[in-house]
Structure 1
Amino acid sequence: MKVLKKIKARIGLSHKQGLICPPGQPLEFHPIHGDNVQLTQGNTIAARVESFCKAVVFTHRPVRINEKVFIRFVEKSESWSGSIRFGFSAVDPRQLSGNLPKYACPDLTNKPGFWAKALAEKFAEKDSVMYYYVTSSGDVVFGVNGEDKGVFFSGVDTRRQLWGLVDVYGNSNVIELVDPRRSLNNMLSNQAPKSPAPQRIQAPRIPEPRLRRSESCGRIPNYVESSYYGSKRLARAAFHRGCVGQNVSLNQTASIATRTDTEFCNGYVFLDSPLQPGESLVIRVLETESTYIGSLAFGLTGADPRNLTSSSLPEDSELLLQRPEYWVLSKDVLANPHSGDEICFTLGLDGAVLCSINNGPDRVIFHSDISIPTRPFIDIYGVAQRIQLLGVAPASHPTSHTPTIRRSVRPSKASPRPKSCSPQSLPSLDISQDSGMVQNECVICYESDVDCVLYSCGHMCMCFSCAVQQFNSSGECPLCRATIRDVIRTYRA
Structure 2
Amino acid sequence: MTEKNKGKKMTLEANDTVKCVCHALGSLRAISFHSDVKGPLITLSDGGRRVTRDVSSFCHGLTFSGRPVQIEEKVRLRVEHCERRWHGALRVGFTHVLPEHTTLPPLAIPDLTHSPLYAAVVVPEGICRPGLEIQFWLKKNGCMHILCSDGSTHTEPTTLNPTWPVWAMIDVYGQTTSVMMLGSKKRRCIFTRRSCPALTHIKHTEDKEMLERIKEQMSMLEQRNHYLDNKDHETSDCEECVVCYSEVANCRLSCGHKCVCGPCGMRVYMTFGTCPLCRQPLGFFHPCD
Same fold (TM over 0.5): yes
The code of the aligned residue for 1:238 comes to S
Counterpart position of 1:387: 179
Q: Does 1:209 align with 2:6?
A: no
Q: Is the 8 A contact 1:240 1:270 kept in 2?
A: yes
Distance 2:30 2:133 in 1: 16
Distance 2:91 2:62 in 1: 9
Distance 1:489 1:340 in 2: 42
Distance 1:373 1:234 in 2: 16
Give the unaligned 5+ runs of structure 1.
1-205, 211-219, 225-232, 401-448, 454-459, 461-486
Q: Is the 8 A contact 1:302 1:326 kept in 2?
A: yes
Cα distance, 1:395 vs structure 2 = 3.7
Q: Is the 8 A contact 1:277 1:348 kept in 2?
A: yes
Distance 1:386 1:243 in 2: 17
Per the alignment, do residues 363 and 322 of structure 1 end up closer, same or farther by CA in structure 2, a change over 3 Å counting?
closer
Between the two proteins, what is the percent identity of the paired residues?
Answer: 22
Cα shift readout 1:304-352 (whole Å, capped 9, x = no counterpart): 22334xxx311232111356x821222x223221110011102212222
Which of 345, 348, 354 is matched with 2:136 structurally?
345
The code of the aligned residue for 1:263 comes to S
Q: Is the 8 A contact 1:353 1:365 kept in 2?
A: yes
Residue correspondence of structure 1 range 363-378 to structure 2 within 5 A: 363-367=154-158, 368-378=160-170
Determine helix, strand or coil for the equivalent of 2:111: helix
Which of 254, 259, 262 is matched with 2:53 structurally?
259
Q: Is the 8 A contact 1:280 1:346 kept in 2?
A: yes
Per the alignment, do residues 295 and 369 of structure 1 end up closer, same or farther by CA in structure 2, a change over 3 Å counting?
same
Q: Does 1:355 align with 2:131?
A: no
Cα shift readout 1:122-141 (whole Å, capped 9, x = no counterpart): xxxxxxxxxxxxxxxxxxxx
Counterpart position of 1:270: 64
Q: Is the 8 A contact 1:234 1:390 kept in 2?
A: no
Between Structure 1 and Structure 2, which shows a larger proportion of helix residues? 2
* 4+ runs deviating over 3 angstroms: 206-210, 233-236, 449-453, 487-491
User: What is the Cα-based RMSD across aligned positions, in Å?
Assistant: 3.4
Distance 2:133 2:118 in 1: 24
Q: Is the 8 A contact 1:235 1:392 kept in 2?
A: no
Cα distance, 1:383 vs structure 2 = 0.8
Distance 1:280 1:359 in 2: 17
Cα distance, 1:270 vs structure 2 = 0.5
Per the alignment, do residues 235 and 306 of structure 1 end up closer, same or farther by CA in structure 2, a change over 3 Å counting?
closer
Q: Is the 8 A contact 2:96 2:164 kept in 1?
A: yes
Residue correspondence of structure 1 range 97-108 to structure 2 within 5 A: none
Counterpart position of 2:266: none
Cα shift readout 1:135-189 (whole Å, capped 9, x = no counterpart): xxxxxxxxxxxxxxxxxxxxxxxxxxxxxxxxxxxxxxxxxxxxxxxxxxxxxxx
TM-score (structure 1 length as normaliser): 0.34
Report how many residues are paired.
Answer: 184
Counterpart position of 1:291: 85
Determine helix, strand or coil for the equivalent of 1:269: strand
TM-score (structure 2 length as normaliser): 0.55
Residue correspondence of structure 1 range 54-453 to structure 2 within 5 A: 207-209=10-12, 221-222=19-20, 236-308=30-102, 312-317=103-108, 318-322=110-114, 326-330=117-121, 332-336=122-126, 337-358=128-149, 360-367=151-158, 368-397=160-189, 451=250
Cα shift readout 1:87-135 (whole Å, capped 9, x = no counterpart): xxxxxxxxxxxxxxxxxxxxxxxxxxxxxxxxxxxxxxxxxxxxxxxxx
Q: State which drifts further: 351-360 or 337-346.
A: 351-360
Per the alignment, do residues 378 and 221 of structure 1 end up closer, same or farther by CA in structure 2, a change over 3 Å counting?
closer
Q: Is the 8 A contact 2:61 2:107 kept in 1?
A: no
Q: Is the 8 A contact 2:62 2:107 kept in 1?
A: no
Distance 1:361 1:252 in 2: 28
Cα shift readout 1:377-434 (whole Å, capped 9, x = no counterpart): 1110001110001011024329x9xxxxxxxxxxxxxxxxxxxxxxxxxxxxxxxxxx
Q: Is the 8 A contact 2:62 2:106 kept in 1?
A: no
Distance 2:133 2:120 in 1: 19
Per the alignment, do residues 223 and 264 of structure 1 end up closer, same or farther by CA in structure 2, a change over 3 Å counting?
farther
Per the alignment, do residues 258 and 282 of structure 1 end up closer, same or farther by CA in structure 2, a change over 3 Å counting?
same
Q: Is the 8 A contact 1:301 1:326 kept in 2?
A: yes
Determine helix, strand or coil for the equivalent of 1:306: helix
Per the alignment, do residues 294 and 388 of structure 1 end up closer, same or farther by CA in structure 2, a change over 3 Å counting?
same
Distance 2:286 2:62 in 1: 30
Cα distance, 1:450 vs structure 2 = 9.1
The code of the aligned residue for 1:360 comes to G
